[in-house]
């Protein structure tokens, strides 16, 4: 019973935090490039986790480091750069809705690679969800629809990586503490992210006022929206199921749309609104047992 209530508290908290992450990324992108934002997000989260979780490192068995590395790449490293790049061209609200494809991709990854049992209604949900995704992508706003199309695809790719990541953690790392997994993940990513950041020339512009302003948002994004949230998400996976954990993306679009409307004057067209509804209906059916 305790696990049942815990998973709902974690789901609600993560939905609000990650829903807010989209607007933090948009604010951050006003002073730095998408590659710089992705690297800084990893570095700030990594510093936080190394400080609070360095004692956990010896608890990772040597043979599990390959899974730690895989989950770091699939769950954070590649997606943060994909999201940052996409958000430089498309609205945060649309990105959040496309991110709600994660439960569908968790289901597909579980079926194809992890031996997950899937029912007919879940297949139906996958089909519906991808129809909604197509509506969102093809009818994206902006002057260059083709460009928006390609950038929106980055979010879909990121959601596929998230789906694989959730299944990897559930199958191979469930016996480790969430803090242990998170700290191991960011130790793996820290040096590569630092090298990428250095190669962008970031340290030549770090003293500029707009960069300093962006950093204030990225610090919150990295520590709360990435570091702390990763720990709680891994806990959610352990106390629930992969598909339930990934259903946090139900809440994310609601929060992102509200904040986008309030702070960025974002809005959805009628067709995009229909697409968003179709995506959520598909996710609902894919997650039912």
Per residue in 153-171, pLDDT (tens digit) is 999 999 999 999 999 998 9
Please say if the pLDDT value at position 212 is more than 60: yes
For residue 4, the tally of other CB atoms under 10 A from its CB is 9
User: 177-213: string of b/e by CB count within 10 Å (b at 16+)?
Assistant: bbbbbbbbbbbbbbeebeebbeeeebeeeeeeeebee
18 Ramachandran zone, left/alpha/beta (phi>0; psi -120 to 50):
alpha
Please say if the pLDDT value at position 177 is more than 70: yes
Of residues 53 and 112, the one with the higher pLDDT is: 53
pLDDT of res. 50:
94
pTM listed for this prediction = 0.86
pLDDT band at 258 (very low <50, low <70, confident <90, very high): confident
pLDDT band at 114 (very low <50, low <70, confident <90, very high): confident
Q: What is the 3-state secondary structure (H, E, C) of 37-86?
A: HHHHHHHHHHHHHHHHHHHHHHHCCHHHHHHHHHHHHHHHHHHHHHHHHH
pLDDT of res. 260:
85
Which helix (H) or strand (E) element contains residue 244?
helix 242-246
Across 58-62, 181-185, 270-274, least confident range: 270-274
Question: In terms of Cα–Cα distance, which of 204, 166, 179, 184 is closest to 79?
Answer: 166
pLDDT of res. 143:
47
pLDDT of res. 2:
53
Interval 220-249: pLDDT, tens: 999 999 999 999 999 998 888 787 787 787
Interval 26-37: pLDDT, tens: 999 999 999 999
Spatial separation of the C-alpha atoms in residues 224 and 210, rounded to whole Å: 22
Please say if the pLDDT value at position 149 is more than 70: no
Spatial separation of the C-alpha atoms in residues 169 and 67, rounded to whole Å: 8
Residue with the two structure tokens 């945060």: 92
User: 57-68: string of b/e by CB count within 10 Å (b at 16+)?
Assistant: eeebeeebeebb
Residues of the chain by 3-state class (helix, strand, coil), percent to 5: 85, 0, 15
pLDDT band at 69 (very low <50, low <70, confident <90, very high): very high
CA 57 to chain CA centroid, nearest Å: 24
Q: Phi/psi at 100 (nearest 5 deg)?
A: -70, 0
Residues 265 and 92: beta-carbon distance below 8 Å: no
Residue 9 exposed, middle or buried by CB count within 10 Å (0-12, 13-18, 19+): exposed
pLDDT band at 107 (very low <50, low <70, confident <90, very high): confident
Please say if the pLDDT value at position 144 is more than 60: no
Q: Read off the pLDDT of each residue in 182-203 and give the average, rounded to a whole number.
A: 97
């Amino acid at each position: 019973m305790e696990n049942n209530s815990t998973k709902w508290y974690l789901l609600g908290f993560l939905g609000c935090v990650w829903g807010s992450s989209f607007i933090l990324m948009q604010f951050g992108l006003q002073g730095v490039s998408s590659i710089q934002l992705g690297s800084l997000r990893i570095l700030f989260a990594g510093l936080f986790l190394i400080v609070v979780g360095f004692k956990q490192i010896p608890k990772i068995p040597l043979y599990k480091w390959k899974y730690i590395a895989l989950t770091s790449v699939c769950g954070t490293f590649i997606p943060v750069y994909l999201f940052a790049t996409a958000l430089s061209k498309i609205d945060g609200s649309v990105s959040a809705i496309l991110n709600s494809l994660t439960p569908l991709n968790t289901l597909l990854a579980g079926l194809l690679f992890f031996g997950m049992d899937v029912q007919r209604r879940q297949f139906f949900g996958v089909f519906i969800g991808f129809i909604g995704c197509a509506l969102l992508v093809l009818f994206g706003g902006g002057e260059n629809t083709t460009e928006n199309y390609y950038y929106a695809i980055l979010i879909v790719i990121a959601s596929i990586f998230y789906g694989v990541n959730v299944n990897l953690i559930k199958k191979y790392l469930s016996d480790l503490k969430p803090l242990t997994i998170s700290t191991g993940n960011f130790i793996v990513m820290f040096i590569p992210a630092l090298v990428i950041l250095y190669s962008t020339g970031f340290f030549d512009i770090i003293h500029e006022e707009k960069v300093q302003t962006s950093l204030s948002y990225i610090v919150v994004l990295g520590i709360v929206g990435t570091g702390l949230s990763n720990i709680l998400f891994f806990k959610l996976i352990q106390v629930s199921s992969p598909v339930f954990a990934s259903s946090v993306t139900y809440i994310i679009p609601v929060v992102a749309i509200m904040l986008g409307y309030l702070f960025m004057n974002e809005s959805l067209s009628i067709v995009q609104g229909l697409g968003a509804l179709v995506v959520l209906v598909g996710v609902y059916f894919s997650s039912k047992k």
